[in-house]
Homo-oligomer: A and B are copies of this chain.
Amino acid sequence: MKKELLSQIKEPEQIMELGYEELRQLAEEIRGHIINTVVKTGGHLAPSLGVVDLTLALYKVFNFKKDKLIWDVGHQAYAHKIITRGIEKFKTLRQFGGISGFPRIEESPYDFFGVGHSSTSISAALGFAVARDLKGEDYKIVAVIGDGSMTAGMAFEALNHAGDLEKDLIVVLNDNEMSISKSVGALSAFLSRKLADKRFVKFKQDLKRWLKQIPKVGEEILNYARRSEESLKNLFTPGILFEAIGFYYIGPVDGHDIKKMVKVFKQVKEIEKPVLIHVLTKKGKGYPPAEEDPMSFHGIGKLKPINSKKEGPPTYSEVFGKTLCDLAAKDKRIVAITAAMPQGTGLSGFMHQFPERFFDVGICEQHAITFAAGLAAQGYKPVVAIYSTFLQRGYDQVIHDVCLQNLPVVFCLDRSGLVGEDGPTHHGSFDLSFLRVIPNITIMAPKDEGELQNMLYTALLMDAPVAIRYPRGRGKGVELQDSYEKISVPSGEVLKEGDDLLIITIGSMVDYALEAAALAKQRAEINVCVYNSRFIKPLPPELFDIVNNFDKIIIVEENALIGGFSSGILELLNDNNMLSGKRIIRLGIPDRFIEHGTQSQLRSMLGLDSEGIFKKICELAM
């Protein structure tokens, strides 16, 4: 048995000294550690396994004590994490107090730029390149970006600018022919060599035919062309797109052949212009289940024994997907749009059941939303299923294309509030604040799966923009309905009567509020009234009557305390001169970026659970 190598790597630069045999061994060791850790902690398994060889080839050629490595999305950076943090720290991956699942500047001197969302790496790397040249320094900058991330307009903007500036900059295009789910778009067809199957083949045929028309000469030239180093064919690699916007293109290169990659990277180090190296990798490499079904192994929770029982109720995403299918069966105007998240948002079923009404636009939130607006302008009812944090990418489109024109687009915001282990880049903490300011939009949040169903049903009956926000994870297991109920817009509900104080709450916090009210009764004989507002905007007018009955009010939401649900209530009460004599405590996400951890750890830390609310009840009731 070979001697273990990883434990001997005390600092990343040692990798520069390793031979190819050792690098291959190290790759195997790292893959093993990734698999062993991620099945325990959860995380992005398939993407990280796919780039282990690439990562080692980069560390072999570049010296990241001075060179800079910028990851895109960052969910493929586990090998980098193992190399730079060591295996013991890596075992704390995504755990509360442990290391992040993404690169973060403050976590390691080798994390040059933090990330979590896609398609930022080339922009950041170009900023680095400009800074380096302004300072007159000398080092290499490498951005590693996936083919999925490359479909985002932002990546194109950055490529275009980099091509124009002609900076010394290396972009490694990690092409696994599949971003998060399947890649979409013409660019992806182009990259994945479908171009070679279609357009290039057609060109070659045209050229052949054309040359053959010149009697007895054509064949000779074709043979010459085959031999010629200046072969025309080179012009028709996938690279022509990148060449066109000013990059020197190299590839495709086998992303699991470390030796070949090292050779290419060494050559590329000598070029002082924008270079794009097209590397082909296989997601899930080295872990057969992930190689076979990389979509399911993209991001995983902790793995359970195969025959364990079903874990519990369906997720909100699943309930959303199922309900949308039901409604779409009855209304042909319903269409569904996702930005590269058909599975994550629960739309897989819809995708199979209504393929002609389903649109995965790739990692293109901006386009997704204006595309939806176009459909709505022509009488359709688009439902944009999107994670709360990614809606930030299409904010202007929500304002300018949807709400200004008052078009009936329904935004279903999955992963709102605290998402857990993915941490600060992925928490959906801000949506109520940034959406609430937009005129014409109605914003709702369901307390459970049944309410989600009714809200979706209600939203699709409205002729205006609507956002429905719900949390990541499983519902409560309330029985799902087959027929839905229209909710009066806007209206809430008193879920528990009580005289001592009032809790106004919404969405994911309703249950915690009810539990806290029960604790208050049980432990302190305090009678709490719990009101589920259901609507964030507009607020239900019945709130006036309810609020009138109480001097002590707690408002609870799983959103930033700045500008969110409780701020809306303060505005309403103030503007109706109803604040005097009231004592209002607001409970929500404080004004800082929230770290990673399980949802319940984070809730507990922030007092956003039944105990936390109970504490506030006691404070206020004193």
A residues near B (Cβ < 8 Å) are 105, 112-114, 116-117, 120, 123-128, 130-132, 134-135, 151-164, 184-190, 195, 199, 203, 206-207, 209-211, 213-214, 217, 220-221, 224, 228, 230, 232, 235, 240-241, 243-246, 332, 335, 356-357, 359, 361-362, 364, 366-367, 370-380, 382, 389-390, 392-393, 395-397, 399-401, 403-405, 424-425, 430, 433-434, 436-440, 560-564, 567-568, 570-571, 574-575, 577, 579-584, 586, 591-593
Contact = CB atoms under 8 A, between A and B. Distances in A.
Nearest to A579: B579
29 contacts: A105-B377, A105-B405, A117-B396, A123-B401, A124-B370, A124-B401, A126-B374, A127-B373, A151-B157, A153-B156, A154-B397, A160-B186, A163-B185, A163-B186, A164-B188, A186-B246, A189-B246, A190-B244, A214-B221, A366-B393, A392-B399, A395-B395, A400-B425, A439-B593, A561-B571, A563-B568, A567-B567, A567-B570, A574-B579
Nearest to A585: B575
Contact of A154 (B135, B245, B367, B403): B367
Ranked 8 nearest A-B pairs via Cβ: A127-B374, A153-B153, A163-B186, A131-B378, A563-B563, A392-B396, A157-B367, A123-B370
A221 B217 contact: yes
Contact of A157 (B152, B217, B245, B561): B152
A436 to B, nearest CB: 6
Given A112-B377, A230-B206, A586 B560 contact: no
Given A131-B379, A221-B221, 13 more contacts: A114-B404, A123-B370, A128-B374, A134-B357, A157-B367, A161-B364, A186-B246, A214-B221, A240-B240, A244-B244, A395-B395, A433-B437, A579-B582
Contacts of A151: 157, 160
A246 B403 CA distance: 31
A299 B366 CA distance: 26
Contacts of A437: 430, 433-434, 560, 562-564
A411 to B, nearest CB: 15
Contact of A120 (B332, B397, B579): B397
A184 B245 CA distance: 12
A370 B155 CA distance: 11
A395 B397 contact: no
Nearest to A397: B120
- State how many copies of this chain the complex holds: 2
Given A400-B425, A405-B114, A244 B241 contact: yes
Contacts of A357: 134
Contact of A581 (B125, B244, B438, B580): B580
Nearest to A224: B214
Contact of A400 (B117, B373, B436, B563): B117
| A185, A190, A560: most-surrounded residue (chain B CB, <10 A) | A185
B375 A130 contact: yes
A102 to B, nearest CB: 11
Given A132-B378, A362-B160, A577 B586 contact: no
Contacts of A130: 335, 359, 371, 374-375
Contacts of A153: 152-157, 366
Contacts of A246: 186, 189
A488 to B, nearest CB: 20
A377 B567 contact: no
B570 A562 contact: no
B404 A425 contact: yes
A109 to B, nearest CB: 12
B189 A210 contact: no
Contact of A134 (B380, B393, B579): B380
